[in-house]
Structure 1
């Protein structure tokens, strides 16, 4: 009996260390994730891929809270933003980016710096814009930038109301704590969705 109890404690400790539940707060991941949804995350992950939902430290939050954002670019990727649209060049390889876009029916644009996929995450993850919102300059424009080693560009899915890498730059690997592996969504009703908050309140 004692061995079973010790084994149970050991298993509980492992699960407690590796898995975490978080409740979503705020509007930055609307509408795929909304305030009150729960996510299950895993801490012992080895790789980060484009599109992953990650729990990260926010460098400008005085309360030290953790935030959930989507990985939009990996080390070596190049990106820019213009008129709220996000443009991505995979691993800095223009030709590969063009072929990937054409193979998956993604919009690709040619610039003087090569080919870039326009808004690559809108097709798969429900990234949205609210054109009625007046947004700060940081949310409309970013210059052409390459993501440095061991850093990850993190963006909210609700692109017009998210405090993310457009304000504080790509996030170093040690600021990322866990990866979302399952989402528990609140039941949606039409009334709830049409009355959802469109912007976070000033704090």
Structure 2
């Protein structure tokens, strides 16, 4: 009888500990998904502002108060509820956002979170002349750590919008769509809006036939934009796969903004070479405010 009571007590103790651990993990998951989170920088598109191997704490509370969007470390999206945010993204902000997909994709192949600088808000006009960025005709302030690289990513082989004839350093002018804006559709500009409209309507609904434009089978030459959009560019402009190549970022894909770097090392070194990896820690970057 004594042994049975002892076993029951042991099982109850394990149950309570497991229950407590699962509850703690759930709370951490909800907080990290909804209020603050961590992000690793995998590419050099924001050098020298943010380096490959930087780990950043992300403020999600400012732009995106919501229930979790996905299960971490998986490609499983979750139905989520958004709540009113405290602020809106502005030109010059460094933004963490869910990649909306390449310019001809209805949905991205996998869930990814990217970091770029917001250079254009809804309704702004973007243009680049001789690698100088202009917003509404005014030269965009050069970020303090902007970097120009001679390297070019192999995936940067098609400018958005397709058939525009633009280049990464001679680009636009391009007007960023704004919620409620009624745009006129023509055979000349439909390539600019086709993917955007299909994403808003959640299906492959835009068609052209006999020099006419159809949306959901109905002939039309107008469309009312349903969301606000933003234009993102990396500080390492010559080696950044950004809005110049794949298009606009809808407001509901914006997650937050980096606060500071809490860890940094050379992520090119494999984890199997742990001591060399540990020796690459960049102590001067830990605690650095991201701006």
TM-score by length of 2: 0.47
Q: Specify which of 112, 118, 121 is matched with residue 139 of structure 2.
A: 118
Of structures 1 and 2, the one with the larger relative CO (CA 8 A, separation 6+) is 1
Q: For structure 1, list consecutive stretches of 5 or more residues without a partner in the other structure.
A: 90-115, 193-203
The alpha carbon displacement at 1:148 in A equals: 1.5
CA distance in 1, matches of 2:259, 2:90: 13
Deviations 1:111-170 (CA, angstroms, capped at 9, x unpaired):
xxxxx22242x2x4322223x446866422211122112101011110001111001222
TM-score by length of 1: 0.65
The alpha carbon displacement at 1:62 in A equals: 3.4
CA contact (8 A) 1:41 1:180 kept: yes
Deviations 1:46-85 (CA, angstroms, capped at 9, x unpaired):
3111111112222136343221111111112222012222
CA distance in 2, matches of 1:183, 1:153: 24
* Backbone CA RMSD of aligned residues: 2.9
1:66 matched to 2:113: yes
CA distance in 1, matches of 2:259, 2:55: 11
CA distance in 2, matches of 1:148, 1:164: 17
Q: For structure 2, list consecutive stretches of 5 or more residues without a partner in the other structure.
A: 1-15, 64-84, 103-107, 158-165, 179-227, 267-279, 281-291
Partner of 1:154: 232
Partner of 1:140: 169
1:128 matched to 2:175: no
Q: How do 1:103-114 and structure 2 match up within 5 A?
A: none
Partner of 1:27: 44
When structure 1 is superposed on structure 2, of 41-50 and 132-141 the one drifting more is: 132-141
